Structure 1
Amino acid sequence: MRLFEDLFHNADSDFKIPPPRQSQPVQVKIDFSVYRIVALVEKTQTLHSSVWLRVKWVDERLQWNPQNYKNITHFVTTKRVWIPDVTLYNDVREVDRPLTMDTKLINHDGTVTWQGLVVYLSLCKLATFYFPFDEQHCHFKFGSSSYTDNELAIGNISATGDMSRYISNGEWDIRGIPVTMGGEEPYDGTPTPAVTYTVVVRRRGTYYLIALFLPLFFMVLLTTSSFYLPVESGEKALLSVIVFLSHMVYTVVVVALLPPPSGMLPLIEHYLLQVQILTAMSTILNVAVVQIHYRGEHQCRMPTWAKRLVRHSIGRRLKMMPQVKRKQKEEKIELTRKMLLFGMHAVRNAFGVGGAEAERPSLVEQDADQGPFGNRPDVTDTPEYKRVQRSILTCLTHMNMETSERAALRATRFDWAQLAMVCDRVCFTCYVFISVVVIAIITTRVLNAPHVSWGKFTSAVRNA
């Protein structure tokens, strides 16, 4: 074809830069369009993306008059023509994809257009402090390493990068592609042309709200419920230990999912650490409450200051004033009455006083002045009667002492149990207060992020 022979007769045209116009550098325009975000790997801090790239420049050596060549205005060729060495500075691929391997569209006015779908693996420094509500800025810096600003000028076709071809990603939403112009200062101090496209992506936090925060919320509820579990159940300390061990396993799993810290720990790791500390403290406090509750079993007397603390200070403020139950008094009276009846009936049976069991009047029905034996001096004045009387008095005295000791033991147990309840309530109040404060601080820090608002935060919660 005559047009090809006329345009490519010079074999050196594919190696030399086009001659400048009036000492102006060759203008290279780039159109950058993100087609798809394949993956943003936090551990290696690399962005795997598919980009639609279009590069245009003017080569006056490739101009022709369409009228002289059967009105051919443009054609596509795979021949080697001069191509600007525009490369991605932060590309980490081992094998590059040079532009010379693809076809070019050449227009009759000398405009050369190269376009194609390029898969890049570029470096992207991540800021994971607000994870999972973070916003990342990944830079694509294109420039030339062979030409200076006086020979080559790189610019953008449009004001921003193109997002119209973007295919939605399940984890990331693209927010914009601003463009900045600026070159590099190489080793010899000569500036080189460059253009930077900043791909702004925002993570979809709905999945992480369900996968990370929901189990953590349930663990906090379980820790809170351990304070309500009574000590008598025998499972109070065990529940706290189980929740603490579950939280340790959960932390190991979550840390494997979280991105590595880049400068500062993410807020979620701060929250995990604080919840872990609170869970450990609640376990220690529950064990201490169980220990306090069972100190009464060892007949340890409660200090006076502890009684005042329970009955007059904290106990009154928490509306947990200890009251001696009437049931305990009634049990003591009933026990004493049964002892007396047993002793009196034993004497009556020993001396054969009265008739059959059905004919004997009860102690309540008998006259108090007569006693259980009536007016029988022949029985009451005998030495045997006095001996039995002394034995009964000794037995009753022993029973009374035993009853008093049991009552004192019950009172001691009751005092320690009340102290344990007061301590449990104080620990519960402190735990809830600290948990609410921690959640409020974390939420405030998230909402103070420049890319997060209350509406976006509540929307993510509703979508979860």
Structure 2
Amino acid sequence: MVQVKFILSCWYLIFKVWVTLCTPDQDFSKNEYVRFFETFKDVIGNKFLRPVKNWTTPVQLNITLALYEIIGVDEKAHILQTYIWLRQFWVIEFLVWDPADFDGLNKVSIPVDNIWHPDLYVYEFIEEDLSPQIPYMYVISSGRITHDKPLRIVSSCNLNIFYFPFDIQTCTLSLGPFLHTASDIVLGLHQTSEEITSESKENIQNKGEWELLNIDAKTTIWQMQGEDWSKVIFKLRMKRRPLLYLVNLVIPSAFLMVIDLISFYLPVHQIDRGAFKMTLLLGYTVVLLIMNDLLPNNAGGTPIIGIYFSVCLALMVISLLETIFISNILHQTRSNSHKVPTFLKRITFSFIAKLICFSPPESHHEPAFKNPQSDPSEELVSSPAAQSSQLIQNLLTSLSRDILVIRSHLDYRSLHEHKQEEWIRIAFIWDCFLFRLYLLLLVVFFVILISCWCMWYNA
């Protein structure tokens, strides 16, 4: 067994020596990549060298971006979260070669940390960028650098939520160097605003709450501390998709308002309309408390939708007060002493009835009430000519007194019924007038609200 192992070890050593002797030496110095990095090792290894031969010449840096996602908008904190890809292009004058000298090598990837790159900064940044870092960038034979990197930007944005949920927001992303002035770096645009917008709309996959309208890009020079600074401003214009808020906020509130409007057709003298409206008002308040989480909480101003809910609540309170007023008028029909005041009767039948085109029925004269105590027939009993028929006269007098009492009672009931009819008629006229006034206020409010939303949303 030992001899077998010894023989195998000898054969393995013989094979290894033979392979070593027969394999030619590899000359890595002839590789085009090795020769390239050996040639430009002073440039590639010096990341502090600004890539211009004349130190007075600024570096021309062209940038563009593609918006990939609108992550979210915080109306309370005025924060916009976006995810973009930033592309940078500049020329390193020390890194120019002829591809024929390196076996046709025209494009090389270089580590980002081993070569000069601009210190671009988003001025609206309020949180640290947590996006992944790209370790390499490309350089072509003309010296042009292409550096692409993703950015998760959490930036400040002045949001106007007055037209929520039909609002259109414009947020600004300003990119510029952190330390280099315009004498060192001059920024330019690699693409037009139309090209940036078109590419961004193609890249956005999530059909969330926000829709991108356009991206306007421009370059500018601004002064600070006596120095000129170059920067590029991207203005993101986006529109909120309001379907979620329409289904969960506006439409349920509108349904409750329609129910409140239809409740005016309940006969107030037969059904307790006030209890129904009070229940409806309580339900609307509960709905507002539940939907409070969906509304933007912003100290900068109250949105139109907040005004809409407040006005709807106020209209429902006004509707309840109208029912209380009409119920108070109808309560007078149960009173035995109150008559319709003259001024109320004059205002109702002379002005309000004509205003709502109501023709009241012809009024009847109030029946006269006679006191049975003042019947003159009792004085005829003592006539000397009627002594023989005293018994008959007494019977007739008693019958006449009973008939007068019955007539007085009927006149009193007729007077009471006439008074009730007047109060009911006045209540009906005022109910019709206040209902039409309420309907007019409701229509005017909704027309103004819808007009404001539509004009802003289609602007």
Q: Same fold (TM over 0.5)?
A: yes
Given candidates 286, 301, 304, the residue that maps to 2:342 is 304
- The CA distance in 2 between the partners of 1:51 and 1:97, in whole Å, is 10
- The CA distance in 1 between the partners of 2:168 and 2:112, in whole Å, is 43
Aligned residue number for residue 215 of structure 2: 177
SS at match of 2:95: strand
Given candidates 386, 409, 414, the residue that maps to 2:421 is 414
- The CA distance in 1 between the partners of 2:204 and 2:154, in whole Å, is 17
Given candidates 64, 85, 89, the residue that maps to 2:123 is 89
Moved more, 414-423 or 231-240: 231-240
Do 1:133 and 1:452's aligned partners in 2 also have CA atoms closer than 8 Å? no
Moved more, 1-10 or 141-150: 1-10
SS at match of 1:62: coil
- The CA distance in 2 between the partners of 1:314 and 1:11, in whole Å, is 93
Is 1:291 the counterpart of 2:328 in the alignment?
A: yes
Residue 2 to residue 183, structure 1, CA distance change in 2 (3 Å): same
Residue 44 to residue 317, structure 1, CA distance change in 2 (3 Å): closer
TM-score (structure 1 length as normaliser): 0.77
Is 1:427 the counterpart of 2:434 in the alignment?
A: yes
Aligned residue number for residue 142 of structure 1: 175
Aligned residue number for residue 141 of structure 2: 108
| Matched residue type, 2:223 | E
SS at match of 1:61: coil
| Matched residue type, 2:260 | T
Moved more, 385-394 or 78-87: 385-394
Aligned residue number for residue 100 of structure 2: 67
Given candidates 310, 313, 317, the residue that maps to 2:351 is 313
- The CA distance in 2 between the partners of 1:253 and 1:28, in whole Å, is 52
| Matched residue type, 1:24 | T
Do 2:92 and 2:144's aligned partners in 1 also have CA atoms closer than 8 Å? yes
Is 1:452 the counterpart of 2:458 in the alignment?
A: yes
SS at match of 1:191: strand
SS at match of 1:219: helix
| Matched residue type, 2:92 | D
- The total of aligned residue pairs comes to 398
Aligned residue number for residue 70 of structure 2: 37
Aligned residue number for residue 35 of structure 2: 2
For residue 406 of structure 1, report the CA deviation from its aligned partner: 2.2
SS at match of 1:182: strand
Do 2:269 and 2:330's aligned partners in 1 also have CA atoms closer than 8 Å? no
Aligned residue number for residue 438 of structure 1: 445
| Matched residue type, 2:303 | P
| Matched residue type, 1:56 | F
- The CA distance in 1 between the partners of 2:243 and 2:401, in whole Å, is 79
Aligned residue number for residue 86 of structure 2: 53
For residue 261 of structure 1, report the CA deviation from its aligned partner: 4.2
| Matched residue type, 2:433 | V
Q: Write the deviation string for residues 276-299 of structure 1: whole angstroms up to 9, x where unpaired.
A: 222211211111111111112022
For residue 96 of structure 1, report the CA deviation from its aligned partner: 5.4
TM-score (structure 2 length as normaliser): 0.78
SS at match of 2:208: coil
Residue 21 to residue 109, structure 1, CA distance change in 2 (3 Å): farther
- The CA distance in 2 between the partners of 1:138 and 1:311, in whole Å, is 61
- The CA distance in 1 between the partners of 2:434 and 2:73, in whole Å, is 44
For residue 11 of structure 1, report the CA deviation from its aligned partner: 7.5
For residue 325 of structure 1, report the CA deviation from its aligned partner: 11
SS at match of 2:61: strand
Q: Write the deviation string for residues 336-378 of structure 1: whole angstroms up to 9, x where unpaired.
A: xxxxxxxxxxxxxxxxxxxxxxxxxxxxxxxxxxxxxxxxxxx
| Matched residue type, 2:437 | C
Q: Write the deviation string for residues 391-431 of structure 1: whole angstroms up to 9, x where unpaired.
A: 55544433333332222222222111111111111111111
Residue 318 to residue 76, structure 1, CA distance change in 2 (3 Å): same
Q: Write the deviation string for residues 91-122 of structure 1: whole angstroms up to 9, x where unpaired.
A: 222355596x5321122222121113322212
Aligned residue number for residue 457 of structure 1: none
Do 2:75 and 2:296's aligned partners in 1 also have CA atoms closer than 8 Å? yes
- The CA distance in 2 between the partners of 1:83 and 1:51, in whole Å, is 19
- The CA distance in 2 between the partners of 1:156 and 1:102, in whole Å, is 24
| Matched residue type, 1:83 | H
- The CA distance in 1 between the partners of 2:302 and 2:318, in whole Å, is 23
Gaps of at least 5 residues in structure 1 are 327-331, 333-380, 454-464
Do 1:294 and 1:417's aligned partners in 2 also have CA atoms closer than 8 Å? no
Given candidates 248, 256, 259, the residue that maps to 1:219 is 256
Q: Write the deviation string for residues 55-76 of structure 1: whole angstroms up to 9, x where unpaired.
A: 1111123333322222211122
SS at match of 1:402: helix
For residue 382 of structure 1, report the CA deviation from its aligned partner: 9.6
Moved more, 19-28 or 83-92: 19-28
Aligned residue number for residue 204 of structure 2: 166
- The CA distance in 1 between the partners of 2:229 and 2:332, in whole Å, is 81
Given candidates 258, 265, 268, the residue that maps to 1:228 is 265
Aligned residue number for residue 288 of structure 2: 251
Gaps of at least 5 residues in structure 2 are 1-33, 368-388
- The CA distance in 1 between the partners of 2:454 and 2:112, in whole Å, is 56
| Matched residue type, 1:315 | A
- The CA distance in 2 between the partners of 1:32 and 1:11, in whole Å, is 26
Is 1:401 the counterpart of 2:408 in the alignment?
A: yes
| Matched residue type, 1:117 | P
- The CA distance in 2 between the partners of 1:159 and 1:20, in whole Å, is 30
- The CA distance in 1 between the partners of 2:192 and 2:299, in whole Å, is 31
Moved more, 253-262 or 190-199: 253-262
For residue 446 of structure 1, report the CA deviation from its aligned partner: 3.1
Aligned residue number for residue 268 of structure 1: 305
- The CA distance in 1 between the partners of 2:223 and 2:295, in whole Å, is 36
Aligned residue number for residue 4 of structure 2: none
| Matched residue type, 1:63 | V
Is 1:197 the counterpart of 2:234 in the alignment?
A: yes
Do 2:129 and 2:152's aligned partners in 1 also have CA atoms closer than 8 Å? no
Residue 7 to residue 42, structure 1, CA distance change in 2 (3 Å): same
Aligned residue number for residue 359 of structure 1: none
| Matched residue type, 1:176 | N
**Superposition CA RMSD, Å:** 2.9
